């Protein structure tokens, strides 16, 4: 029998470390494993926008587990039943989207905790989360080991960011720039000055509450700016974006270099 290990990502948040991550949208264990060996502190299993189900989530968690990157799972909804299943798969850090107020955050904390602090069903002996009972102290330490990140993605949520962050059991608050931009009438413009100002406001509110702000920002210069503003965990890219960009650049390079029209034959 063994003791349940600590959650390194939660420990890093508590210390105030700055960590960098990569979004996993492809729902493929092999690409996830590759990304987990690339030097990122964490990888995000995107169950909201990626084609994940419970079995693919499990396969990706298994692929990532032996490697240094910590796995975070974004669930697609606030459904307590789904949250319970994902936790039983062995996810110990969750990102939950579209949190608008403190009441929703309180409900999510309860969904991730065993009674009496919460409503999570007790089935750990059957689950990977406890290594099928091999971690003999799992039930006693699981509540404290869970790490809950809630996502603010609208102006309503930003206005409530400090109250959301102050909820006991919320470890960090992640700002969603793209949905926030859409809610402000700037669809597809997360770098719009008004959106950036709203993000800065949310960061300040989260820090006032003593919690860690996070953000997704594939623009390297903006990512560094947000770190300077106080963000503590930053997703700086996504597997799908990296693959698409590299594939397109390679194809374009060879098309331009090998196109006969751009390289007319030399005179004989």
d(CA 24, CA 41): 13
* Residue 96 β-bridge partners: 150
Catalytic residue selected from 49, 67, 78, 192: 49
Question: Is 49 in the active site?
Answer: yes
d(CA 73, CA 90): 10
What are the backbone dihedrals phi and psi of residue 53, each rounded to the nearest 5 degrees, phi first? -125, -170
Beta strands in 15-145 (DSSP E): 19-24, 42-46, 70-74, 93-96
Is there a contact between 146 and 188 (Cβ–Cβ < 8 Å)? no
d(CA 209, CA 227): 17
Dig out the tokens for 143 from the structure: 């509540």
CA distances from 121 to 111, 144, 184, 191 (A): 9, 16, 38, 42
Active centre residues (catalytic):
49
């Amino acid at each position: 029998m063994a003791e349940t290990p600590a959650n390194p990502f939660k420990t890093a948040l508590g210390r105030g470390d700055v960590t960098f991550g990569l979004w996993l949208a492809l729902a493929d264990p092999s690409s996830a494993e590759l990304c987990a060996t690339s030097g990122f502190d964490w990888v995000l299993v995107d169950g909201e926008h990626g084609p994940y189900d419970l079995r693919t989530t499990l396969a990706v968690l298994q692929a990532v587990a032996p490697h240094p990157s910590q796995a975070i799972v974004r669930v697609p909804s606030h459904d307590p039943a789904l949250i319970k299943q994902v936790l039983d798969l062995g996810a110990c850090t969750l990102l939950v989207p579209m949190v608008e107020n403190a009441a929703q955050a309180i409900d999510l904390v309860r969904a991730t905790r065993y009674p009496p602090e919460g409503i999570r069903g007790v089935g750990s002996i059957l689950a990977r989360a406890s290594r099928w009972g091999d971690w003999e102290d799992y039930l006693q330490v699981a509540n404290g080991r869970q790490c809950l990140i809630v996502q603010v993605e609208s102006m309503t949520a930003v206005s409530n960011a400090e109250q959301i962050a102050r909820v006991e059991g919320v470890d960090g608050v992640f700002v969603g720039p793209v949905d926030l931009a859409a809610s402000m009438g700037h669809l597809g413009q997360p770098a719009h000055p008004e959106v950036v100002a709203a993000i800065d406001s949310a960061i300040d509110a989260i820090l006032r509450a003593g919690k860690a702000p996070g953000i997704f920002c594939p623009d390297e210069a903006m990512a560094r700016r947000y770190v300077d503003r106080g963000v503590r965990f930053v997703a700086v890219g996504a597997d799908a974006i990296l693959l698409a960009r590299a594939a397109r650049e390679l194809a374009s390079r060879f098309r331009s270099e090998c196109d006969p029209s751009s390289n007319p034959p030399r005179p004989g």
